[in-house]
């Protein structure tokens, strides 16, 4: 039994959902999102709740049950509120700036890194050492933040690089003399 899958997803006011076949469409003030569920689950919209149930008792059906419920819950949250990931830049001379729809990163390379911001995502740099990624799709926000972080991951000796806010880097000891 999936503990997550058993819980129905509540629809807040201002958010509506419809199901046609295996496609769920959720509309809200921030936009519209759709999700194509696998044939292993059944999705039903009743009153102000969305319920996900497995078809059968196979391992795959039980896996898809919890995952599908979580994706639907993220869609409901995303069309009402935004998802947000905050990144910090550590290192001498490392900084970020927004120019139009491009994020310019100085990360110690011989050239600037130009990161094109995808549609549906807003990236801001309130300080030169802070980046905030926001959007209504949880998967896309996380992927964009991970792609930005991949340009210069934090290294374990001095901790220089791009990290998530609050992320702890285990510092390694340097060479002994």
pLDDT in the model for residue 1: 62
**What class has domain 3-80?**
alpha beta
pLDDT in the model for residue 171: 87
Q: Where are the domains of the chain?
A: 3-80, 83-164
pLDDT in the model for residue 31: 85
pLDDT in the model for residue 2: 67
pLDDT in the model for residue 122: 93
Segment-wise mean pLDDT, segments of 10 residues, the chain, 177 residues: 83 90 90 90 91 90 91 92 94 93 93 92 94 93 95 92 92 86
Fold matches, 3-80 and 83-164: yes
- Record: fold of 83-164: Outer Surface Protein A; domain 3 (3.90.930)
Long-range contacts of 94-101 (CB under 8 A, 24+ apart): 94/129, 94/152, 94/160, 94/161, 94/162, 95/128, 95/129, 96/125, 96/128, 96/129, 96/130, 96/131, 97/125, 97/128, 98/123, 98/124, 98/125
pLDDT in the model for residue 177: 80
pLDDT in the model for residue 174: 84
pLDDT in the model for residue 6: 87
Q: Note the pTM of the prediction, 2 decimals.
A: 0.85
């Amino acid at each position: 039994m999936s503990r997550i899958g058993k819980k129905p997803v509540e629809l807040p006011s201002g958010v509506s959902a419809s199901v046609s076949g295996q496609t769920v469409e959720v509309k809200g003030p921030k936009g519209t999102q759709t999700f194509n569920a696998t044939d292993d689950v059944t999705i039903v919209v009743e009153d102000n709740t969305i319920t996900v149930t497995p078809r059968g008792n196979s391992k795959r059906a039980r896996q898809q049950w919890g995952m599908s419920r979580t994706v639907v819950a993220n869609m409901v949250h995303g069309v009402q509120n935004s998802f947000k990931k905050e990144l910090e830049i550590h290192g001498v001379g490392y900084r970020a700036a927004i120019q139009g729809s491009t994020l310019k990163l100085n990360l110690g390379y011989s050239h600037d890194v130009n990161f094109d911001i995808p549609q549906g995502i807003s990236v801001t740099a309130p300080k030169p050492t802070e980046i905030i990624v926001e959007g209504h799709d949880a998967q896309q926000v996380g992927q964009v933040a991970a792609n930005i972080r991949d340009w210069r991951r934090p290294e374990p000796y001095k901790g220089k690089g791009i990290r998530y806010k609050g992320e702890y880097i285990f510092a390694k000891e340097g060479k002994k003399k």
